[in-house]
Amino acid sequence: MATEFTLDQGAQVLADATLPGCVRELGLTVEHLGEGSATLRMRPTPMACREGGTYAGQALSALADTAMCFAIWTDGRGRRPVATVDLHVTFLSAGGKEDLLAKAEIVRSGRTLSFCKVSMVLADSGKNVASAVATFSLPA
């Protein structure tokens, strides 16, 4: 039986204390959830940007990891613990003055591992800021 992961549940996850404070403080919001996909939004706040108003690599990495977790939770098995095994982020260009969208999707998911990718683009201009791929361990 499939277990749905909804927008309301996603908003609750971002608000509750199960996520590390460094992620909660980024003020992420859930824009879209689909089967095996998720889109999260990050605003250019002082917590997300470094000096000069450019998104910090640390914030981009946290956004990427979180968006891919959300994509995994939409695979029909619902929200459950997942652990990042490997995360590779490629920083493509600077961005900062506008919101950032992280569009994550599952590439392949099995019983114990899930492979995901994410594209991070500026919301208004569509400019590519970063991309990432990751492997996640799933509970048995």
pLDDT in tens, 17-33: 788 888 999 999 999 99
Tell me the Cα Rg of the chain.
14
Q: Would you say 7 and 37 are in contact if contact means Cβ atoms under 8 Å apart?
A: no
Q: Rounded to whole angstroms, what are the CA distances from 133 to 98, 99, 116?
A: 23, 21, 6
pLDDT in tens, 52-80: 899 999 999 999 999 999 999 999 998 99
Q: pLDDT at residue 94 above 70?
A: yes
pLDDT class for 1, splitting at 50, 70, 90?
Answer: low
In a 13 Å sphere around the CA of 16, the CA atoms on its Cβ side amount to 7
Helix then strand then coil, % of the chain, to nearest 5: 20, 40, 40
